[in-house]
Amino acid sequence: MKFAQVNGVKAEAQQGLRGACEVCQSVMIAKCGNERMKHWAHKSKISCDPWWENETEWHRAWKNRFPENWQEIIHKDPTTGEMHKADIKTTGGLVIEFQRSAIEPAEMLSREHFYKNMVWVVDGTRLMRDYPRFCKGFSSLRQTVKGFFLSSFPDECFPSSWLASSVPVYFDFQGNGDPVQPQDARRSALWCLFPNRVDGAAVVAGVSREALVKLASTDPDLLFAHGNLTYIAEYIRLQRESAADHARKQHPDLLSLLNARRLRGRRH
């Protein structure tokens, strides 16, 4: 963890310091070696939060994009008393979880259920095949409202374990950045897979890192996921109606011909 309580104050790890875990109050030891970035670890070596994964440079870099008073915030269920430390919790109440390891679908859903108003940012460089799969799948995306795409086969773009998420999932295919490989624009954007489906297709959008940070503070309600999906569904419906209207005006006979053919087809 980046923070522990030292004399009642949230503090970063420093050589020789001892602190208390903000969740379970047990003793935390500051780890300030050369191999890993400075962090706090439970003296007992067992983390009290089963949802906590070992922090990497990638996690830390993401957390540091947000104000310090939003980082590592305890979220408590008032009814059950269950407590977890969210990577980011904004003053507007949005939780952002950064996930590098693979996650079981059951744990993914229980975390979504616990935090409710949350989004994921997922390290899309965990497996070698993740980014090449996205590049290959990208050609099958269909542009809809500006900046948004529809995907009939989201499993061709994203790891299947994330497809059933009930909240927006932002894939970061850049990871920690590879100094050898020049970064392309597609790779430096975040790609958001929205929950639910519109017209049977998944909705995908490209967002810059800066935009995500800004959106988190200005539009905290699931980063407008539901609003976006409703808008896109309406757009598709209008588009379809206007295409049918256009066809009716241009080829009044063609449409009746098509309808007749469809009816005949159904009879066979």
Q: Minimal distance in Å, beta carbon 87 to Zn ion?
A: 16
Q: Minimal distance in Å, beta carbon 61 to Zn ion?
A: 24
Please calculate the CA angle 165-169-173 and round it to the nearest 5 degrees. 135
Q: Is-contact 139 149, C-beta < 8 A?
A: no
Q: Minimal distance in Å, beta carbon 187 to Zn ion?
A: 36
User: Does the protein bind Zn ion through residue 202 (CB under 5 A)?
Assistant: no
User: Does the protein bind Zn ion through residue 24 (CB under 5 A)?
Assistant: yes
Q: Minimal distance in Å, beta carbon 69 to Zn ion?
A: 20
The rounded distance, in Å, linking the Cα atoms of 52 and 194 is 24
For residue 131, which phi and psi values (nearest 5 degrees)? -75, -45
Q: Which of residues 30-69 bind Zn ion (CB under 5 A)?
A: 48
Q: Minimal distance in Å, beta carbon 19 to Zn ion?
A: 11
Query: Which residue number, 27 or 164, has a Cβ lying nearer to Zn ion?
Result: 27
Q: Which candidate, 162, 165, 166, 183, places its Cα nearest to that of 174?
A: 183
Residues 6+ apart with CB under 8 A from 60: 2, 37
User: Does the protein bind Zn ion through residue 83 (CB under 5 A)?
Assistant: no
Structure tokens at 99: 């996930």
Q: Minimal distance in Å, beta carbon 41 to Zn ion?
A: 10
Stretch that binds Zn ion, among 24-32, 137-145, 237-245, 254-262 (CB under 5 A): 24-32
Structure tokens at 46: 């067992």
Query: Which residue number, 41 or 119, has a Cβ lying nearer to Zn ion?
Result: 41
One-character DSSP codes across 26-40? -EEEEE--SSS-SEE
User: Does the protein bind Zn ion through residue 1 (CB under 5 A)?
Assistant: no
The rounded distance, in Å, linking the Cα atoms of 220 and 212 is 11
Query: Which residue number, 42 or 187, has a Cβ lying nearer to Zn ion?
Result: 42
Distance of CA 149 to the CA centre of its chain: 16
Residue of the chain from 6, 13, 23, 94 that contacts Zn ion (CB under 5 A): 23
User: Does the protein bind Zn ion through residue 21 (CB under 5 A)?
Assistant: yes
Interface residues with Zn ion (CB under 5 A) are 21, 23-24, 48
